[in-house]
Amino acid sequence: MAETLVTIANRKSTRGFKMDQIPAAAVDAILKAGNEAPVGTGAFPTIHFTVIQNADLIKKISDAATRGTPRAGADIFYGAPTVILVSAAEQPFPGLDLADAGSIIQNFLLAATDLGLGSVYIFGSNAAFAAEPELLKEAGIPEGFKPVSSAAIGYATAEATAAPKAPRNIPVNRV
């Protein structure tokens, strides 16, 4: 149990990745961790994962997400060789898809951390599919599903590894 808390404490956003691809076994372990996450109403059939390891498609999604914005051309995935999209079908309650994505992606990120990989939650990828719906087909997203979040995963660069985790102290009230 203590090891879990150490992994939670060690997780931080990686914003610089090496080009080297991660092993297939690591992808499998990360997907399994996603499957272990809590999902609202237990509606697992309303969730779909897409593993993207095609650098051209990753760039296309990034370009579509930033086109016409001040960040045009920036890589929203920071050079990560693997991106996992979480897509959701229509949910019975508004916002449940985003809550599910948060739950699942945190498990992805913790699994990646445990495996010695860098990772970062990417919400910005959603904009790509809204702006250029043909990307849904290109990414093989099933009919009726839309991407609601993603995780960028890979080996962190030395610089990203050295970057400190943002300090925090979220206020608490106890009643």
Ligand X SMILES: Cc1cc2nc3c(=O)[nH]c(=O)nc-3n(C[C@H](O)[C@H](O)[C@H](O)COP(=O)(O)O)c2cc1C
x/- contact string, 67-106, with ligand X (CB under 6 A)?
Answer: -----------------------------------x----
CA distances from 122 to 3, 25, 35, 43 (A): 26, 22, 19, 23
Cβ-based neighbours of 140, under 8 Å, separated by 6 or more? 50
User: Stretches 2-10, 22-30, 122-130, 133-141: which one binds ligand X (CB under 6 A)?
Assistant: 122-130
Please select the residue that binds ligand X; options are 13, 21, 53, 103, rule is CB under 6 A.
Answer: 13
Residue 85 burial by CB count (10 A; 0-12/13-18/19+): exposed, middle or buried? buried
166 touches ligand X by CB under 6 A? yes
159 token code pair: 């610089």
Cβ-based neighbours of 107, under 8 Å, separated by 6 or more? 33, 34, 36, 37
Please select the residue that binds ligand X; options are 12, 33, 141, 153, rule is CB under 6 A.
Answer: 12
Cβ-based neighbours of 116, under 8 Å, separated by 6 or more? none
65 token code pair: 């997400």
Using CA atoms, how far apart are residues 70 and 85, in angstroms rounded to an integer? 24
Q: How far is the CB of 24 from ligand X (least distance, A)?
A: 26
7 touches ligand X by CB under 6 A? no
List binders of ligand X among 18-47 (CB under 6 A): none
User: Stretches 12-20, 26-34, 52-60, 86-94: which one binds ligand X (CB under 6 A)?
Assistant: 12-20
118 touches ligand X by CB under 6 A? no
End-to-end CA distance of the chain: 28
Q: How far is the CB of 175 from ligand X (least distance, A)?
A: 26
Q: How far is the CB of 98 from ligand X (least distance, A)?
A: 8
Query: In the complex, which residues of this chain contact ligand X (CB under 6 A)?
Result: 12-13, 15, 102, 120-124, 165-166
